[in-house]
Structure 1
Amino acid sequence: MSGGAGEGARRVGRPRADQLRPDSGRPPREELLCAAAELFTVKGYAATTTRAVAERAGMRQATMYHYFGGKEELLAELLESTVAPSLVLARRLLAEPQRSAAERLWELCRSDVLLLCGGPYNLGALYLLPEVGGARFIQFRRMRLELKDVYRTLLDATPAGGELAGDRAGLALRNDLVFGLIEGVMLIHRADPARPVAAFAEATADAALRIAGVGRPSPPAQAARPG
């Protein structure tokens, strides 16, 4: 699930010291985030040190601290980056009542899967870290809850949601199942990473709407969506 959306002032950094990745062309902060994403998902968050992140990014550990305060700050920004683009889209979709709720829900599901599966690392797996329950990750949890609430609002506005109007618990469960499917796609994608992501995203969106009890939107509406 979306560029990081972390809030708060960042310290100004010095130029990198030892450029182990001289041809990447990425700014130092992005280089550090890429290094952290790789190490957190391959070696594990607990087993990764800030020194290892700095070295992988091609800089000294002391230099890294001019960009990030430590591992938690790196992890928080990575997690927020998996939600932020989807949240921007979700807010826009809520402001388009002229389109059917089913069409908007399908688009949100599809875009979420494209975001979660489009990168080189399985950042969705980091959601399960016990550290994510800490105070440093309140912003990420708020963003994720807002996104989930948009899923529920759109589901509620579909005919299937209307049928469950008197069963709030049933509607909440159906939304949990839809949202859980979308967030769990990385496990499926990891089993066959060569599968075309675009086709996988559409198939997952179709499955999500079937779980929700909603029919797939008409082809003309789908064709109008941005890629």
Structure 2
Amino acid sequence: MGTPGAGQGGRVGRPRAAQRPASGLEPRAELLAAAAELFTTRGYSATTTRAVAERAGMRQATMYHYVTGKEELLAELLESTVTPSLAYARELLADDTAPGERRLWELCRADVELLCGGSHNLGGLYLLPEVRAERFAGFHAVRAELKDAYRQLLAATVAGGALAKADLDLRTDLVFGLIEGVILVHRSDPERPVGEFARATADAALRIAGV
């Protein structure tokens, strides 16, 4: 007996290339996981949509049921490196019962753990020249809001509250640059315990802030 629907114009489901073990992920999440792996190992420009689809275990035509292409995948991956930290930053800003120093330290620690704790080096994607394009305006807006949260928390410290605006802006740039730059340090020693690395980086950030 033939497969039900076969030869009758029926559709037995979208064919899959079966190159990736079943993960239980939804198709869009599967594509994001495949893109994360390929963008960080092969490079964004060297990765084709066909390669992403095949790595996710589906055909290229099927991929377009879920995403418009590589740029959409990159934009979502980029935002995933920022939005959890921004949500936590909003919580810390709302909690004015805790000292500013402690809240700034906590944000630095959590942000580093997010950037370095994943299975892929997603934090390094923001360095791609393609990210300057208008298509990634959403990521830049979220990133700017996170940076402003760092500025507010720095201003809430005893040392930050005494700084002139120009000095506060400079310290914010330095702290934020340190946090974003840790992914490059972590890349050189990926076996370093992330929690330990995050706490040491948060300590260094507070010294930059003048605490």
TM-score norm. by structure 1 comes to 0.85
2:141 corresponds to 1:145: no
2:210 corresponds to 1:210: no
Q: Which amino acid aligns with 1:174?
A: R
Deviates more, 1:70-79 or 1:130-139: 130-139
Query: Residues 193-214 of structure 1: CA distance to partner in whole angstroms, max 9, x if unpaired?
Result: 1111111110100000011011
Query: Residues 179-199 of structure 1: CA distance to partner in whole angstroms, max 9, x if unpaired?
Result: 000001111111111111111
Distance in structure 2 (CA, Å) of the matches to 1:84 and 1:67: 22
CA RMSD of aligned residues (A): 1.2
What aligned pairs does 1:97-136 form with structure 2 within 5 A after superposition?
Answer: 97-136=96-135
Aligned residues: percent identity?
70
Equivalent residue for 1:178?
175
Equivalent residue for 1:169?
166
Q: Which amino acid aligns with 1:200?
A: F
How far residue 15 of structure 1 moved from its aligned partner, in angstroms, is: 4.8
2:197 corresponds to 1:200: yes
- Classify the secondary structure of the residue corresponding to 2:192: coil
More contact order relative to length (CA 8 Å, sep ≥ 6): 1
Deviates more, 1:185-194 or 1:78-87: 185-194
Q: Which amino acid aligns with 2:37?
A: E
Structure 2 residue runs without a partner (length 5+): 1-12
2:98 corresponds to 1:95: no
TM-score norm. by structure 2 comes to 0.91
Equivalenced residues, count:
199
Deviates more, 1:186-195 or 1:108-117: 186-195
Distance in structure 1 (CA, Å) of the matches to 2:14 and 2:60: 13
How far residue 124 of structure 1 moved from its aligned partner, in angstroms, is: 1.5
- The structure whose Rg is larger is 2
Structure 1 residue runs without a partner (length 5+): 1-13, 215-227
Distance in structure 2 (CA, Å) of the matches to 1:67 and 1:105: 38
2:88 corresponds to 1:57: no
